[in-house]
Amino acid sequence: ETGVTQTPRHLVMGMTNKKSLKCEQHLGHNAMYWYKQSAKKPLELMFVYNFKEQTENNSVPSRFSPECPNSSHLFLHLHTLQPEDSALYLCASSHTAGVSYEQYFGPGTRLTVT
């Protein structure tokens, strides 16, 4: 248990569906992240939020839409996805002050697009 929770843990959706992934952190952090991990590939950064403001978008297609209503919650809204978007989606959080910026990851959402 890292203090970062993600729901759902598994999701199967069709290409025309709309779904959302949720991440919540209970660590008092101010930065939150979305990463994507496709099969046999390194983790790829998708988005970064600092104090609810998006500070990085790593050229992610618009069919992925993040939302950060407060420093504890992060969503990833999905619509009209493609089969190649099937992957493990990981959320992480970290402090934004001080020396240590270690990130704490959630367990991930295993997404399958059919």
Partner 1 sequence: DAKTTQPPSMDCAEGRAANLPCNHSTISGNEYVYWYRQIHSQGPQYIIHGLKNNETNEMASLIITEDRKSSTLILPHATLRDTAVYYCIVRVAGGGNQAGTALIFGKGTTLSVSS
Contact 92, 29 (CB under 8 A): no
Q: Which residues of 71-82 are buried (b: 16+ CB within 10 A; e: fewer)?
A: bbebbbebeebe
Among 7, 55, 57, 70, binds partner 1 (CB under 8 A): 55
Q: Which is nearer to partner 1, 89 or 113 (CB)?
A: 89
Nearest partner of 114 among 76, 81, 83, judged by Cα: 83
- 63 lines the binding site for partner 1 (CB under 8 A): no
N-term to C-term CA, the chain? 31
How many chain residues touch partner 1 (CB under 8 A)? Answer: 34
Q: Which is nearer to partner 1, 49 or 113 (CB)?
A: 49
Q: Residues in the site for partner 1, rule: CB under 8 A?
A: 2, 4, 30-31, 33, 35, 42-43, 45, 48-50, 55-56, 58, 88, 90, 92, 94-108, 110
